[in-house]
Amino acid sequence: MAAAFLDRRTQPHILTLVLAASVGALSMNIFLPSMPGMARHFEADYAVVQLAVSLYLVASAVLQLLIGPASDRFGRRPVMLVCMTIFLIGSVAAIYAPTIGFLLGCRLLQAFATAGMVLSRAIVRDTVEASEAASTIGYITMGMALVPMIGPMIGGVLDEIYGWQSTFVLTLAFGLVVFGLVHLDMGETNRSRSASFAAQFHSYPELLTSRRFWGYVFTAALTSGAFFAFIGGGPYVASEILKLTPSQYGVYFGIISVGYLLGNFLAGRLSTRIGINRMMLSGNLISAAGMLFSIALFFAGYNHPLSLFGPAFFTGVGNGVTLPNATAGMISVKPHLAGSASGLGGALQIGGGAVLSVLAAALLSPETGPYPLLWMMFLSSAAAVVSTLYVMHVSRQAGEVR
């Protein structure tokens, strides 16, 4: 079923998958430069405002447990449209949030945007084999990376000119465009739907008893954990320790996104040739080396934004190389459970990221400097190396996934 753009009788075009996956990334990233200002606006502690990130991640994790099985039962298209509708409702409400508590509730609704990423991965696995899936997912996330790359830059400028609410206005507008595109272009790709919704949850033990599935999940969770730690603690380090303005933070954040874009490009070009496991190992080694470099720079007294964002470029590269391959691995262990594997694996990945995001924000203070954040990012990347080596060990015994 070849893709024909804006034809609901065929599988969605790759542009549709890129933009659908980008909605959640934009929703998570665009308001990051505004977080210190939001704390002042609502007269709330920074740690409370940071819950707009961590609660979003937790909600995304829980929702992925439902979205994946639901799409295996009811189809990718209807589940995507319903989730996007709920996301739009949350975005409208966030613009008029009177209190920080109300805003946090709106973020829970916005978390339904995670359907874009979950279902894009499942759709890829519906249509291609494992080795090609890593390449295709790499290209999708490469295109998706453009949105969070420019999102904080635009968000920082909008915040300084119009206030923090303007970032949610832009998120709403982008979501409306994507909803229209999904409605017009996304054909159904799930041709073997499960007999019942409950049956999908009964499939979880089949995944949970797979050593290889756990290896790929932990690799993805620990790899992205370094980035989520930065999402939670980076704005504090930038504003309170390095004294950056929201727009400056947005510009420097682009360095990480460029690294992620480069990593996705490498994954798209090399994964089929090199193999998903060796690509994962290479990406995590790059990420860990970058964080060691950052720790060394601050320890040597170079308290400059580039001491944080420059080495974090390599975290972006490592994430971009590793995650498409880890994702392709987890959804290919049991191909007939691609939706459930995408949802369950994504939930565990995002849940771990939420924990690290909260810890990073909680441990930072003017007295600690950036070190809790940097060490957390390094240890997460190093643990991902260990998890990848375990996957490679299992693969030598059982063979590569197909």
70-119 residue pLDDT tens: 888 888 899 999 999 999 999 999 999 999 999 999 999 999 999 998 88
- Between CA 64 and CA 140 the distance in angstroms is 19
Q: What angle do CA 389, 390, 394 make, to 5 degrees?
A: 120
- Residues 6+ positions from 84 with CB-CB distance below 8 Å: 20, 23, 112, 113, 115, 116, 175, 178, 179, 182
CATH number reported for the structural domain that contains residue 112 in this entry: 1.20.1250.20
Count how many domains the chain has. 1
In a domain, 5, yes or no: no
In a domain, 52, yes or no: yes
Task: Please spell the DSSP secondary structure of 140-192, one letter per residue.
Answer: HHHHHHHHHHHHHHHHHHHHHHH-THHHHHHHHHHHHHHHHHHHHH------S
Predicted local distance difference test score (pLDDT) of residue 342: 73
- Between CA 226 and CA 319 the distance in angstroms is 9
Per the structure block, which two tokens stand in for 196?
């019942």
Q: Answer yes or no: is pLDDT of 237 > 70.
A: yes
Q: What is the mean pLDDT of the chain?
A: 86
296-331 residue pLDDT tens: 999 999 999 999 999 999 999 999 899 888 988 887
Predicted local distance difference test score (pLDDT) of residue 387: 95
Predicted local distance difference test score (pLDDT) of residue 321: 92
User: pLDDT grade, residue 192 (50/70/90)?
Assistant: confident
The torsion of the CA quartet 391, 394, 395, 401, rounded to 10 degrees, works out to -80
First and final CA of the chain: distance in angstroms?
Answer: 21
In a domain, 401, yes or no: no
In a domain, 104, yes or no: yes
Selection from 180, 167, 170 nearest residue 80 by Cα: 180
Per the structure block, which two tokens stand in for 281?
């190992």
Predicted local distance difference test score (pLDDT) of residue 2: 56
In a domain, 126, yes or no: yes
- The one-character DSSP state at 33 is G
In a domain, 36, yes or no: yes
In a domain, 41, yes or no: yes
Confidence (pTM): 0.72
Predicted local distance difference test score (pLDDT) of residue 249: 85
Phi-psi region of 76 (alpha: psi -120 to 50; beta: other; left: phi over 0): alpha
Predicted local distance difference test score (pLDDT) of residue 45: 86
Range of 366's domain?
Answer: 14-396
In a domain, 3, yes or no: no
